[in-house]
Structure 1
Amino acid sequence: MMGPVLAACLLIILSTAWISQANGATCKKDGGVCTCNDQTKNVDCSYKELTAIPSNIPTDTDRLVLQGNKLSSLPHTAFHGLSSLTYLSLFNNKLQTLPAGVFDELKNLENLRIQQNQLKSLPPKIFDKLTKLTLLYLEYNKLQSLPHGVFDKLTNLKELWLQSNQLRSVPDKAFDKLSKLEKIFLTGNPWDCTCNDILYMAKWLKKKQDEGLGGVDTAGCEEGGKAVLEITEEEAAEDCVYPNTTTAIPTTIITTLASSNDDDIPELPVPQENFQKFLGYQEPDHLPTQPQCLMSISGYLGLMMFFVLISAAILYVIHFLKKA
C-alpha cells in the first residue's frame, strides 16, 4: 500500500512547487518576465508587451520600470505594498485614465514618469500623498484640463513637465504651492490668450521669469505667437467658454422641444461619452486582463507540465488501488 501514499506525496509536492512558481513569477530567475536586481532593488519590466502589471513585485523594490508596454488601465491597488518605491516609470504605455488613489501608498516616491500616454484628465488629489516627489513627467499626453489644487501637496517638486498636451489654461493658483520649483515646461499646448483664465498663468510666469525660473518663456499663445507671460488684461478680456464642458441641456432648448411637434424636433448631436455620463454610466477603473501569475511562456509550460504530472499520479493511484 506504499504506492498510493507515495503518489499522494508526489501530488502535494508538485502542487506546492507549481504554486510557489506562480506566486513568484515576476523575476526572470523564477520564470517571470522582469529583470530583478536584489542589490539595487531595481525591477525592470520594460518593453515586454505587458497588458497588466506583474503580480508579486518584491515589496522592498526601490525602482520599478514599466515603460514601453501596452498598459491601458490600472487597478487602484496596482502599487499597494510598494511603499519603498522612489522611482516609478509608466512612460510610453496606453494609459487613458488613472484611478483615484492609485499612488496613495507611494509616500517615498521622488520620480514619477507618466509621459507619452493617452491621459485626457487627472483625478482630483491624485498626487496628494506624494509629498516627497521632486520630478513629475506628464508631457506628451492629451490633458485638456487640470483639477483645482492638483499640485498643492507637491511642496518638494523641482521639475514639472507639462509640454505637448491640450491645455488651454490652468486653474487659478495652480502653481502657488510649488515653492521649490526650478523648472517648468509648458510649450506645445494651445494656450488661449484671448480668455481671462490665462491671466493667472501669465502673471505667475512673468514673476517666475524675473526670479530666474527656467523654461517659462517658451509657452506661447495658440494664436498670434505671443508669449503667454506678455499677455495683458485688455488682451485676455473674454470669458472662457469651451465646447463639451457640460452634459446639461439648456432649459430654453427643453422648453422649445416641449412646445414643438414631433416632426419639427431637430436632432441634437450629443457625444456618446456625454450621453453615457448623462445616464449615470461609468466605465470601470480596470478591465479584466490575462491572469497575472501566467505572464510568461514558462508559466504556461509549467501549468501544462503540472497537469500532466497530476494525471500520471492519479493513474498511478488507481493502478495500485486495483491491485489492492
Structure 2
Amino acid sequence: MMGPVLAACLLIILSTAWISQANGALCKKDGGVCTCNDKTKSVDCSYKELTAIPSNIPTDTDRLVLQGNKLSSLPRTAFHGLNKLTNLDLQWNELQALPAGIFKELKNLETLWVTDNKLQALPIGVFDQLVELDELYLNSSQLKSLPQGIFDKLTKITNLDLQNNKLQSLPNGVFDKLTELKTLYLRNNQLRSVPNGAFDYLSNLGTVTLHTNPWDCTCNDILYMAKWLKKKQDEGLGGVDTAGCEEGGKAVLEITEEEAAEDCVYPNTTTAIPTTIITTLASSNDDDIPELPVPQENFQKFLGYQEPDHLPTQPQCLMSISGYLGLMMSLVLTSAAILYVIHFLKKA
C-alpha cells in the first residue's frame, strides 16, 4: 500500500513546485523572475525579456520596475489594484500604444517613466487620474503629436520630459495648468513654433531646453516665443539662448518683427491616435485581453510559500529560461507519477 501513498506525496510536492515556477511575479528565491524587497515594498522585474506583466504583484507594492523588457502592448487593467504605487518604470520597452484607462487607479503615483518606447500618440485623458504626479518622462518615445488637454490634470508636476520625440506642433494651452513646473525638456523634436501664450503660466520654470528643433524664424508665429525667450533670458532662465533658427543659425530670441514678417503655412497635423492603432483597438474585445490576477496577499506571503488554493487561475506567460525548464521537468515528473498510480491501481 505504500506505492499509492508515495505517488500521492510526489504529486503534492511537484504541484507545489509547479505553482512556484508558474507564478512569474515570485521572487528569485522562489523560482520567479522578479527581485522583491519587503521593507521598501518594491518589485524589480527589469531586463527579464518579459512580453507581459507578471501576475500576483502584491497590492501594497510602492515601486514597480519593468524597464528593459519586450513589452509591446498592455491590457487596460494591467495596473488595476495597485493603487499604492508611487513609482512606475516602463522605460526601454517596445510599447506601441497605451490603452485608455490604464493608469486610472494609480492616484498616488508620483513618478512615471515611459522613456524609449514606440508610442506615436497618446489616448485623450490617459493621465487624468494621476493627480499626485510629480515627474513624467515621455522622452525618446517617437511621439508625433499630443492630444488637447493631455496634461491638464497634472497640476502638481514639476518635471516634464518630452525631448527626443517627433513632435511637429503643440496644442493650444497644453502647459496652462502646469503652474508648478520647474523643468521642461522639448529639445530634439520637429517644432517650428509654439502656440501664442504657450509658456505664460509657467511661473516656476527654472530650466527649458528648446534646441535642435527646426524653428521657423521667417514666420510671424515665432514672435511670441522670441519675445518670451528674451524676457526669460533677462530673468535668468536657463537654456533659452540655445534655441536657434532653422536657417541662418541666429538665436530665436534675437528675431525681430521685420525678420519674421511672413504668414505661416504649415501642413496639417493631428493629435488623434493613428488610424492603424484605432482599427486594432476597435477590432479587439475584452475577451482578447488577458486579465492577469492581482491577489490580496501581503508581502510576507508573497515572499514565502504559496498555498495550493492560490494556484494561478490563468497560464503564466512570463518566466526565465531556467524557470521554464524547471516547469517542464515538473510536468514530466508529474505525468510519470500519475501513470505510475494508474498502473499500480490496475495491477491491484
Q: Which one-letter code corresponds to 1:297 in the other structure? A: I
The percentage of aligned residue pairs carrying the same residue is: 74
How much has 1:200 moved relative to structure 2? 2.4
One of 142, 147, 167 as aligned partner of 2:191: 167
Q: Which moved more, 1:14-23 or 1:167-176?
A: 14-23
How much has 1:193 moved relative to structure 2? 1.5
CA gap of 1:148–1:26, structure 2 versus 1, over 3 A, is farther
CA gap of 1:171–1:66, structure 2 versus 1, over 3 A, is same
Alignment of 1:243-322 (within 5 A): 243=267, 245=269, 277=275, 282-284=278-280, 293-322=317-346
Q: Report what 1:25 is aligned to.
A: 25
- SS at 1:203 equivalent: helix
How much has 1:165 moved relative to structure 2? 1.0
Q: 1:194-242 CA distances to partner (integer Å, 9 max, x unpaired)?
A: 2222222222222322322211111111112222222233332323222
Q: Which one-letter code corresponds to 1:216 in the other structure? A: V
Q: 1:80-137 CA distances to partner (integer Å, 9 max, x unpaired)?
A: 5544432333333343333444434433332222222322222333333333221111
Distance in 1 (alpha carbons) for counterparts of 2:107 and 2:246: 41
Alignment of 1:31-180 (within 5 A): 31-58=31-58, 59-61=61-63, 62-76=86-100, 78-79=102-103, 81-180=105-204
Q: Which moved more, 1:155-164 or 1:18-27?
A: 18-27
Give the unaligned 5+ runs of structure 2: 64-85, 291-314
Q: How many residues align?
A: 294
Note if contact 2:146-2:170 (Cα within 8 Å) is conserved in structure 1. yes
Alignment of 1:182-193 (within 5 A): 182-193=206-217
- SS at 2:136 equivalent: strand
CA gap of 1:32–1:289, structure 2 versus 1, over 3 A, is farther
Say whether 1:202 aligns with 2:226: yes
Distance in 1 (alpha carbons) for counterparts of 2:14 and 2:243: 62
Note if contact 1:23-1:293 (Cα within 8 Å) is conserved in structure 2. no
Note if contact 2:182-2:207 (Cα within 8 Å) is conserved in structure 1. yes
Distance in 2 (alpha carbons) for counterparts of 1:231 and 1:143: 23
Q: Which one-letter code corresponds to 1:92 in the other structure? A: D
How much has 1:162 moved relative to structure 2? 0.8
TM-score, structure 1 length as denominator? 0.72
- SS at 1:301 equivalent: helix
CA gap of 1:227–1:99, structure 2 versus 1, over 3 A, is same
Q: Report what 2:297 is aligned to.
A: none
CA gap of 1:66–1:282, structure 2 versus 1, over 3 A, is closer
Distance in 2 (alpha carbons) for counterparts of 1:77 and 1:14: 39
Q: Report what 2:248 is aligned to.
A: 224
Structure with larger RCO (C-alpha < 8 A, sep 6+): 2
How much has 1:158 moved relative to structure 2? 0.8
Note if contact 1:116-1:140 (Cα within 8 Å) is conserved in structure 2. yes
Q: Which one-letter code corresponds to 1:203 in the other structure? A: K
Q: Report what 1:251 is aligned to.
A: none
Distance in 2 (alpha carbons) for counterparts of 1:282 and 1:127: 22
Q: Which one-letter code corresponds to 1:284 in the other structure? A: T
CA gap of 1:64–1:4, structure 2 versus 1, over 3 A, is same
Distance in 2 (alpha carbons) for counterparts of 1:66 and 1:121: 20
**CA RMSD in angstroms, aligned pairs only:** 3.8
TM-score, structure 2 length as denominator? 0.68
